[in-house]
Amino acid sequence: MERDDFEETAPGEIVPTTTLKGTFSAFKPDPLPPTISTDQLITPLAEATQALGRLHGIGPRVGSREILIEPFFRKEALESSQIGGTHATLSDIYAYEGWAGGAYRRGQATGYPGRS
């Protein structure tokens, strides 16, 4: 094992290790957890919490959770299609829903038949 086997930024070092069969190199990782600057996390976390609070507040007034959830299903379908190579667009999903009589089921626009 050589230091060149690892990226320059790998958190640790190569140290000699002795066993009954001889001396070998081993990778000794740096102690966990690494130092994390919470200052960079506080604002996005607070914004996400506020957004969830707004959704929680309007949820009962909407009448149906599906009205709030379905756009996220469509967004997931679009992103999954890009991963799977289908490259569906939002227009494709709405066209499919119209063709299927409005019976939108997650995964159909993405080409993953096992998902529903």
Q: What is the pLDDT of residues 34-46, one digit of tens each?
A: 777 888 889 999 9
How confident is the model at residue 76, as a pLDDT? 86
Backbone dihedral angles phi then psi of residue 18, each to the nearest 5 degrees: -105, 130
17: β partners? 24
- Is 109 in a helix, a strand, or coil? coil
Name the pTM for this structure: 0.39
Residue 55 lies in a domain: no
63 burial (CB, 10 Å; 0-12 / 13-18 / 19+) is exposed
Query: What's the pLDDT tens digit per position in 56-112?
Result: 888 788 877 778 788 888 888 888 888 877 777 888 888 877 776 655 454 444 444
Hey, how many other C-beta atoms are within 10 angstroms of the C-beta on 88?
Answer: 21
For residues 109 and 88, give the distance between their C-alpha atoms in angstroms, rounded to a whole number.
7
Residue 86 lies in a domain: yes
Count: domains in the chain: 2
Is residue 9 one of the residues assigned to a domain? yes
Is residue 20 one of the residues assigned to a domain? Answer: yes
Give the pLDDT score at 101.
60
Reading the block at residue 100, the tokens are 């299927």
Helix residue ranges, H only, 24-64: 39-62
| Residue 17 counted as domain residue | yes
Measure the CA–CA gap between 81 and 87, rounded to whole angstroms.
5
Closest by alpha carbon to 14, among 36, 23, 33, 22? 23
The answer to whether residue 46 is domain-embedded is no
- Is the residue at 47 inside a domain? no
Domain that holds residue 2: 1-29
* pLDDT at residue number 115: 41
pLDDT in tens, 22-35: 988 888 888 887 77
Residue at 48 is within a domain:
no
